[in-house]
Amino acid sequence: MSLRQRRILIGVTGGIAAYKVCELVRRLRDLEAEVRVVMTEGATHFVTPTTFQALSGQPVRVSLWDEHGEAAMGHIELARWAERVLIAPASADAIARLAHGFANDLLSTVVLATAAPVYVAPAMNQQMWAHPAVQANIGTLRVRGVGILGPADGDQACGDIGSGRMLEPHDLRDRLVASFGSQALHGRHVVVSAGPTYEDIDPVRFIGNRSSGRMGFAVAAAARDAGAEVTLVAGPVSLPTPPGVTRIDVRSARQMQDAVLAACQRSDIYVGAAAVGDYRPAGTADHKLKKVDGSPLHLELTENPDIIAALAAQPGHPFLVGFAAETHELASYAQDKLRRKGLDMIAANEVGAGKGFEVAENALHLYWPGGDLVLPTRPKTELARQLIEHIAERFLSGHGPTP
C-alpha cells in the first residue's frame, strides 16, 4: 500500500477530534504521500499549526488574508495542487457552509476552487448528527459527489453514545488509498452512459424514464480513479461533472446512441448505466397540444434504438456492461438480457418504491457468462468502485474482447 507522490490536502475544522488528524497526517506521510494542511480558526483552538507543520513538513495555512501566502493567489495554488481534499474533522458548521457554497474562509474557498475529489469525515454529537438540517446538508453534498466518510458509532467526548464519532485515522487513510483505485485501467478508455432520456411530445411535454444519474456518474468517477480516460454521455440530469471526466450532454435516445457509438470507436469498455427510454412518440408536434375536455389523447409510440445491442453487433466492440433495472424476477430478466444481447457482464438492481431511483444507496447483482456475484446495499459511490474493480478483473483476464 503506497501513496508515493500523491498530493493530499487535509482541511481541519474546529472539533475535539482534530487531535486524531495528527495521527492521520503521520500515517499518510508513512505511505510517502505529500500532505498539506489548511486549518480553520476554530481548529487552532484544539491543535496548533506548528504541530501539523512538523508532521507534514509543509507550512500550514489558516487565513485567507495571509499576505505572504496569498501573494501569488495561494488558495488557487492549493486548490490546483491537491489530488484529494479531505476535511477531518468535519463539524456541523463546516458541513453547512460547504453545502451552501460559502467562501468566507480559506478552507471553504479552496473547496470551491478545486477540481479534485472532496471527502468529509463528520465528527459531532450524536444528536447533532441526527438533526434533519445536518442530514439535509449531508444529502446535498452526496448529490454533488462529495464522499462522506463515516461517522462511526461509539463513545463521544461529551459522554453520549451513538453515531457521530470521526472515523479512526487508519480507516481514513485506507479510504484515501482506495479512492485512488488500483490504477488497473490505466491507459484504457471507458465510456459510461448515465441518466434518463427524454422524448418530446411537443415543445413543453415529454416522456422519459426515472433516473437521477447518480449511479452512472459514480461509475464514471470510479473508472477515473482506476486510471482510465473516461467519457460520460449524460442524459438530462442536474449533477456536476466528476473532475477529470469528459462529459457529453444529450436528451433523446437517438442522441445518446449517436454519442455513445462515436465515443466507443476508440474505447475499451462501455458501461451502459443510462435509463434509456424504450419508446418515443412517432411524431413531435411543433406547437403545444391543447386539451379537449372529455376527449382522450392518443399517443402513437415507436421503438427507440437499442444502444448496447447495436454495439454488440459491431466487430471489435468494447467490453460491454449493461444494466437491468427490474421490479420483479430480477435474476431471470437480467440473465436473459445478458444472453440475448451478447453482453460481457450485466449489473442488475431492483427498482420501485425507495429502491434504485433517486436514492443515495443501491445494491447490485452482477452476472456474466458462467458466474455471478452479489454486491450488497451501500452508498452508490462505494458500489461503483466495487463494480469497476470487477469489470477491470474480467476485462483484463480476457473474458470479453481482447484487451
pLDDT in tens, 66-119: 766 555 556 788 999 999 999 999 999 999 999 999 998 999 999 999 988 899
Question: C-alpha distances in angstroms, 313 versus 254, 262, 320, 327, 396?
Answer: 17, 15, 11, 28, 22
Q: What is the pLDDT of residue 204?
A: 87
pLDDT in tens, 392-401: 999 988 765 5
* 379 is an annotated ligand-binding site residue: no
Write down the mean pLDDT value for the chain.
88
Q: What is the pLDDT of residue 274?
A: 94
Backbone angles phi, psi at 90, to 5 degrees: -100, 105
Judging by DSSP bridges, how do beta strands 84-90 and 147-148 pair with one another? unpaired
Q: What is the pLDDT of residue 322?
A: 94
Residue type, 206: F
Domains and CATH numbers, the chain: 7-180 (3.40.50.1950), 189-399 (3.40.50.10300)
Q: Rounded to two decimals, what is the model's pTM?
A: 0.65
Mean pLDDT of all residues in 4-9? 90
pLDDT classification of 402: cutoffs 50, 70, 90: very low
Does the pLDDT value for residue 17 go beyond 80?
Answer: yes
DSSP letters of 315-340? Answer: TTPPEEEEEEEESS-HHHHHHHHHHH
Q: What is the pLDDT of residue 401?
A: 53
pLDDT in tens, 199-252: 999 888 899 888 889 999 999 988 988 889 999 999 999 888 887 789 999 999
| Helix, strand, coil percentages, rounded to 5, for the chain | 35, 25, 40
Q: What is the pLDDT of residue 297?
A: 81
Cα 84 from Cα 8, distance rounded (Å): 5
Catalytic residue, chosen from 158, 285, 299, 313, is 158
pLDDT in tens, 296-346: 888 889 999 999 999 999 988 999 999 988 888 888 889 998 999 999 999
Mean pLDDT of all residues in 171-200? 88
* 307 is an annotated ligand-binding site residue: yes
Does the pLDDT value for residue 6 go beyond 70?
Answer: yes
pLDDT in tens, 341-383: 999 999 998 876 556 566 778 889 999 998 999 999 888 888 8
Highest mean pLDDT among 32-41, 176-185, 223-232: 32-41
Residue bearing the bigger pLDDT, 182 or 387: 387
* 148 is an annotated ligand-binding site residue: no
Q: What is the pLDDT of residue 362?
A: 84
pLDDT classification of 403: cutoffs 50, 70, 90: very low
pLDDT in tens, 139-156: 999 888 898 998 887 777
Out of 1-15, 26-40, 267-281, which region has the weakest mean confidence (pLDDT)? 1-15
Mean pLDDT of all residues in 259-272? 95
Q: What is the pLDDT of residue 400?
A: 54
> Is 22 one of the annotated active-site residues of the chain?
no
Secondary structure element (H or E) that encloses residue 12, with its range: strand 7-12
Cα 213 from Cα 115, distance rounded (Å): 20
Backbone angles phi, psi at 205, to 5 degrees: -125, 150
Percent of the chain clearing pLDDT 90 (strictly above): 55
Mean pLDDT of all residues in 117-144? 92
